[in-house]
Amino acid sequence: MISDLFTATVLIGIISSGIRLATPYLFAGIGEMFGQRSGVLNLGVEGQMLLGAFTAYFVVLRTGNLFLAVLAAIAVGALMGLAMGFVTIRLQATQGIAGIGFYLFGMGMSNLLFQKLIGVVENINGFPILKIPLLGDIPVIGEIFFQQNLLVYLAFLLIPVAWFILNKTTLGLKIRAVGENPEAADSLGVSVVRVRYFTVVLGGILSSIAGASLSVALLNVFQQNMTAGQGFIAVALVYFGSWRPFGILAGALLFSMVNALQLWIQVLGIPIPSELAVMMPYILTIVVLALSLSKGKGPSALTKAFEREG
Amino acid sequence: MKNLYKVLSVLLVLGLVLAGCTPAEPETSEPVVEDKPLRIAIVTPSNINDLAFSQSISDAMITLKAEMGDKLQYDYSENMFVVDDAAAAIRDYAQKGYDIVIAHGSQYGSSLQEIAPDFPETVFAWGTTVDTFGQPNIHAYEAASDQGGFVNGVMAAMLTKTKVIGVVGPIETGDAKLYIDGFVAGVHSVDPTIDVRVTYIGSFSDVALASEAATTHLSAGADVLTGSAQMVIGAIGKAQEAGAYWFGTQADQTSFAPDVVVASQVYHWEVIFREIFALRGEGVLGGKTFSANLKNGGQVIKINEGLNLDQAVLDKANETIQGIIDGTVTIP
Amino acid sequence: MSQSTKNSSSPPKFRLSAIFDALMPVFATVAALLVGAIFLLLLGANPLTAYSALIDGAFGSFNAFAETLVKSIPLLLIGLGTCIAYRGSVTNIGGEGQMIVGALLSTWIGLSFTNLPGWLMIIIAMLAGSLGGAIWGGLPGVLKAYFNVNEILSTVMMNAIAVQIMNYMLRGPMIDPVQAQASSQIPQTARLEVAYRLPRLAPTRLHIGLLIAILLAVAVYILLWRTTLGYRIRAVGQNQAASKYGGIDVKKHIVLALLLSGAFAGLAGMMQVYGVNYRMITDGSSTGFTGNAGFNGIVAALFGQLHPIITIPASILFGGLLVGANAMQRVVQVPSALITGLNGLVVVFVVSSEYFRKRNQRRRMAAMEADHDNAPPDHPGENLEEVPA
């Protein structure tokens, strides 16, 4: 029966599902990466995702306008990011705990708003599958890679864009400098505060879009607590990826494809307990990271508040 | 709340005094004063609009309220998935003098066992289970979800063309397992060669994973799907996209995907609660076990009229339902 | 004149503002609840009724206070673990998983050996619970120290893994034989022997776990500040390079910090089973068993300034908030989602209030220094280098 796994249908299915499942991790992970690179840890990603998911869904439900929905999600994410930034940068609060607080707040608010403004679970018409002309017609590959949702494409495009920003632009240099040695950056004239606010707000926006990708693109529905912990996985994947965009991509794909694999294992009736199958992505992520040799060192100033001397 | 309680207590005292003053009448007394509203409290582990478990008890209360109007008043505490918090809630409601406290979660048993003896006047209803701990004021109720599962399975077997059916479950326990086991049995009772694949995704809330589970089933050749718990909305969505039939449970899922939902096993807990109210009126506060099944209407297979199913399928379904009610059809 | 400066009114003022700062978390909580009042009003609830119900539900009666204390026990234990982890400069957000594994191990032992004297089994169970949690915390420790795997990643993953192990065990090998037969198939274990259950204090749900936890708080204080081990953990937490230079095995102490932290969480799990429910039961999620103690315990430690002794009142107060909030929900019938949101607001406000506390502390230090500068030197020539402000 294990041999059943090695058929084309299964492999296509795993990669295809993996790509879809990875999408929210990519958005949220990159957002978190920028924040952490500048020295700020945000554990509230889950709350931002839920609020973003609800906002986008609500807008589509009421107006049918997908573009507006994404804008609304961006706005909400930016607000959450701003709040997080104020608390951790201006008030220099303990970042980890502040994040947990925002997570609880975001979860509570999204549920409350859903109950009071909508109240019933119903599906909507979200982003449709966008088949890329020509490329989408290639057998097998076309089906997997080029017949996905717009937001899926954006998530994957985000990776090289993030890499470029981080490594090839002045902004990226500033971000990295602020995360490594804020005092030195400050003495060179970089506004540590402004850079950190920027990355944290960006992180909020991307987390919000991650949530929106679930509710108005991939699943076309909203339900309370629908992210089920994906926000925390996204944060974990930043560490897996050593704070590098392509590392995060690798992590997101590894986790998601193993998740897709375990579903196939169950579907094909391979006799392992369902709980063991469900565990697989989590175990493998740890094992792969433990065994990987190229682990980057994190930003030295991560979680350390910055205070201007003098 | 406090004021209401005061008023009710005054009424009760007045009533008792009056009763003491009236000349003796033949004993048809009901120990409960009838003109004050019945106060019910519900403690449930998930959201009441989850289109699944907790929604079912909420729907029941709404129905009862519509029937009884002002004679019924209910409050609830949802999302009590922490047993400790639920225990505190149950005790609190009992202490506040609610007539009936419904503990709508199988994990609340231990708490009830401790709390119920402290409040002998209160009726406690515990679902979904069969154990009353021998307590005179605990009722137990459950849903014979394997029955509905069986009927769904029978219909599914008749509708599948690929002979492959997929099931998306949360965790391999409790109500979900009961339903799914019944479903598989139902399918095989019609055609033992049909391949029924079951996936448990390990979570009640991960909609994305449920959606991919459905996609996986569909890629593996399934053309009929079913599942349990609130995250299945992800699966239903995929079924709708692929045009695969869906069988639902715990709530009427027709409105969610009217093109593909064939039937939903819906719980009508109110059937049980009407009995519980009546028993309370007679002074019986507990000790009975109830089952929401096809026979007493506690369970109903709600078929999607809009789908215009083949008459043969409908006939077989009705025949199976009747068979279960009569006892001629048994579920392994 | 100098004498009067020394004995000026600063000392009494100083003490008052210090007390004000120590109570800062309380003020912050009040501020958060005031914001929450807006939401209550929007939902049609009366904030006064609501908040008086909250206080009533937390502290308003003997029973209510007992409930608060019961809630605070896992918070305190995990808070103590957090203190240790913090001092060792590791972040342990694996409390949820460690609690579960500790509970599983201690429950399994309690169900497997049913003929031991109660007091003996309780001790064994406590050790087993701590061991389970220690393993589940020590593993991330080893992964961090020897494989450079960040502990936030490993603990997040291991939380999820622990839930699956719990689900499997409780519906499989450890399921209550009664349930295995019944149609209800509830994933729970059999009940523990009556003799094994933690004795209760007063006719309430409060069990002796509270006393054990308080004793442990004192023990943690002693460990961290009065033992070599504690010193080394703190040294590694402060400065890994310097510690290494000073001859301390850095890796070992990173592992130890996480291991000890996990042990406390595991003990909290054991207490939930042996002191509260007398069996282990799951609803498939981790919070269903732990009640979010894994996260709330961290918050409680923060409210306690990450000091083991102060974490005791902090846990009780935070526990009261959680219990009271649920009571409030029942009285004004607002959706539980609001309670979660309020929980989050309180955390954010309290964590933000640190800023004001630190700022006031600095002002006080500066004021003290200024006072000192103005006083005459005890020995001539002492202050010659210092330029008077």
pLDDT, tens digit (0-9, with 9 covering 90-100), for A184-202: 999 999 999 999 999 999 9
Structural domain count of chain B: 2
Question: Which whole number is the average pLDDT over C21-35?
Answer: 87
C325, closest residue in chain B (CA to CA): B85
Q: Which pLDDT band holds residue C377 (cuts at 50, 70, 90)?
A: low
- A residues 242-281 closer than 8 Å to C (CB): 273, 275-276, 278-279
What gap in Å lies between CA C152 and CA C93, rounded to an integer? 7
Measured between CA atoms, the residue of chain A closest to residue B211 is A219
What per-residue confidence (pLDDT) applies to C1? 40
Q: What is the pLDDT along chain B (332 residues), one digit of tens a residue?
A: 444 434 444 444 443 343 333 333 344 444 555 568 899 999 998 888 777 888 889 999 999 999 988 889 999 998 888 888 888 899 899 989 999 999 998 888 888 888 899 899 999 999 888 788 888 899 999 888 888 899 999 999 999 999 999 999 998 888 888 899 999 999 999 999 999 999 999 988 899 999 999 999 999 999 999 999 889 999 999 999 899 999 998 888 888 888 899 999 999 999 999 999 999 888 888 888 888 888 888 888 888 888 888 888 888 888 888 888 887 767 76
pLDDT at position C247 over 80: yes
Show residues of chain B in contact with A228, CB under 8 Å: 203, 205-209, 231
Residue A1: the pLDDT is 62
pLDDT single digits (tens) C138-186: 999 999 999 989 999 999 999 999 999 999 999 888 888 877 777 667 7
Full-model pTM: 0.88
Beta bridge partners of B92: none
Is 80 exceeded by the pLDDT of residue C211? yes
What value does the mean pLDDT take over residues C235-256?
A: 86
Is the CB of residue A46 less than 8 Å from the CB of residue A177?
no
Is residue A209 pLDDT above 70, yes or no?
Answer: yes
On whether residue B102 sits in a domain, the answer given is: yes
Let me know if residue B210 belongs to a domain: yes
What pLDDT, on a 0 to 100 scale, did the predictor assign at position B50? 79
pLDDT at C385: 43
Put simply, the answer to whether C329 touches B85 (Cβ < 8 Å) is: no
- pLDDT, residue A130, reads 85
> Domain for residue B90, yes or no?
yes
Q: Stretch A56-85: mean pLDDT, rounded?
A: 95
Residue B162: which domain range?
Answer: 145-266+299-326
pLDDT at A233: 94
C193 min Cα distance to partner chain A (Å):
29
Domain A2-291 matching CATH 1.10.3470: the answer reads: yes
**What is the interface size between A and B, counted as CB pairs within 8 Å?**
116
Residues 188-227 of A with CB under 8 A from C: 224
In this model, does residue C90 exceed pLDDT 90? no
**Dist CA C72 CA C79 (whole Å):** 10
Report yes or no on B25 lying in a domain.
Answer: no
Q: How confident is the model at residue A259 (pLDDT cuts 50, 70, 90)?
A: very high
Average the pLDDT over C108-126 and give the result: 90
**Interface check A225 vs B, CB under 8 A:** yes
Domain regions of chain A by residue span: 2-291
Residue B128 included in any domain: yes
Contacts of C292 in chain B (CB under 8 A): 82
Which of B212, B230, B231, B264 best tests the A interface by mutation, with the highest count of A CBs <10 A? B212
Give the per-residue pLDDT at C355.
Answer: 86
Q: What is the distance between the alpha carbons of residues C106 and C134, in angstroms, rounded to a whole number? A: 13
Strand order in the sheet with B224-227: B195-200, B164-169, B224-227, B245-249, B261-267, B299-303
**Pick from C279, C285, C335: which is nearest to B110 by CB?**
C279
Nearest to C26 by CA among C258, C367, C317, C358: C317
- At B296, is the secondary structure helix, strand, or coil? coil
* pLDDT digits 0-9 by tens, A140-183: 788 788 888 899 999 999 999 999 999 999 999 999 999 999 99
CB contact under 8 A, C337 and A112: yes
Could you tell me the residue ranges of all domains in chain C? 1-45+334-374, 72-324
Q: Which helix (H) or strand (E) holds C137?
A: helix C118-147
DSSP per-residue letters across C27-74: HHHHHHHHHHHHHHHHTT--HHHHHHHHHHHHHSSHHHHHHHHHHHHH
Judgement on whether residues B135 and B276 belong to the same structural domain of the protein = yes
Least confident of A213-217, A246-250, C55-59, C86-90: C86-90
Q: Which residue of B has its CA nearest to C162?
A: B202
Average pLDDT, chain A: 91
Residue C11, pLDDT score: 53
Q: What topology is assigned to C72-324 in CATH?
A: ABC transporter involved in vitamin B12 uptake, BtuC (1.10.3470)
Greatest mean pLDDT among A187-191, C103-107, C198-202 lies in: C103-107
pLDDT for the residue B21: 37
User: Are the CB atoms for B42 and B93 separated by under 8 Å?
Assistant: no
pLDDT class of C281 with cuts at 50, 70, 90? confident
d(CA C272, CA B283): 37
Residues B314, B275 share a domain: no
Q: How many CA atoms lie less than 13 Å away from A246 in the CB half-sphere?
A: 6
pLDDT band at C375 (very low <50, low <70, confident <90, very high): low
pLDDT of residue A122: 85
Interface mutation vs chain B, best among A17, A110, A121, most B CBs within 10 Å: A121
Q: Do B223 and B284 belong to one domain?
A: no
Percent of chain A with pLDDT over 90: 72
Same domain as B321, residue B201: yes
Contact C183 B93 (CB under 8 A): no
Q: Does some domain include residue B68?
A: yes
The answer to whether residues B261 and B275 belong to one domain is no
**How confident is the model at residue B30, as a pLDDT?**
47
Q: Supply the pLDDT for residue C187.
A: 81
The per-residue b/e assignment along A71-107, b for 16 or more CB within 10 angstroms, e otherwise, is ebbbebbbbbbebbbebbbebbbbbbbbbbbbbbbbb
Whole-number pLDDT of residue C12: 54
Reported as a single tens digit per residue, the pLDDT across C42-64 is 999 999 999 999 999 999 888 88
* pLDDT band of C7, cuts 50, 70, 90: very low
The CATH number of the domain holding residue B136 is 3.40.50.2300
* Over residues A47-73, mean pLDDT: 95
- Backbone φ/ψ region at C319: left (φ over 0), alpha (ψ -120 to 50), beta: alpha
> Do B135 and B150 fall within a single domain?
no
**Average pLDDT value for residue range C347-369:** 85
Per-residue model confidence (pLDDT) at position C388:
42
Which residues does chain A have within 8 Å of residue C295's beta carbon, measured at their own beta carbons?
Answer: 100
Q: How far apart are CA C82 and CA B316, in angstroms?
A: 61
**Residue that wins the pLDDT comparison between C364 and C231:** C231
Quote the pLDDT of residue C5: 44
* Whole-number pLDDT of residue B32: 53
The C-alpha of A121 sits at a distance from chain B's nearest C-alpha, in angstroms, of 7
**Contact call for A101 and C344, based on CB within 8 A:** yes
pLDDT value of position B130: 79
Q: Which amino acid is at B189?
A: S
- According to DSSP, the residues that pair with B73 across neighbouring strands are B39
In a domain, B164, yes or no: yes
